[in-house]
Amino acid sequence: NAGVTQTPKFQVLKTGQSMTLQCAQDMNHNSMYWYRQDPGMGLRLIYYSASEGTTDKGEVPNGYNVSRLNKREFSLRLESAAPSQTSVYFCASRNNSPLHFGNGTRLTVT
């Protein structure tokens, strides 16, 4: 039982490049979330999807887009990466329960 799987684990981008972070869960959860974690800032919500077909902005959505591809998958896209987007990104999911986190993607933008 894999839980929440994120790919890639590590990524280095140059300013202006684009990329998509992938997240998939096999727990049949309805809600999925994307967070970023920065030193001293804690976990901050970027976007979430309460159910398949819906997405909503969180606290820090600027510079990101998301797609809820189906119930299992929720991707996060950076169209034009900036050094301020250097962070650790966590995907999480839930169903009337606590959040279950993936292992994270460590992204560096140079």
Partner 1 sequence: QKEVEQNSGPLSVPEGAIASLNCTYSDRGSQSFFWYRQYSGKSPELIMSIYSNGDKEDGRFTAQLNKASQYVSLLIRDSQPSDSATYLCAVLTGNQFYFGTGTSLTVIP
Residues that bind partner 1 (CB under 8 A): 31, 33, 35, 40-45, 48, 50, 58, 90, 98-104
Q: How far is the CB of 92 from partner 1 (least distance, A)?
A: 8
Q: Which is nearer to partner 1, 84 or 103 (CB)?
A: 103
CA distance 76 to 11: 14
Q: How far is the CB of 70 from partner 1 (least distance, A)?
A: 20
CA distance 1 to 13: 31
Q: Which is nearer to partner 1, 53 or 98 (CB)?
A: 98
- Cα–Cα separations (whole angstroms), residue 73 to 27, 80, 82, 83: 11, 22, 25, 26
Q: Which is nearer to partner 1, 9 or 77 (CB)?
A: 9
Q: How far is the CB of 109 from partner 1 (least distance, A)?
A: 19
Nearest residue to 95 (alpha-carbon basis) of 51, 44, 53, 45:
51
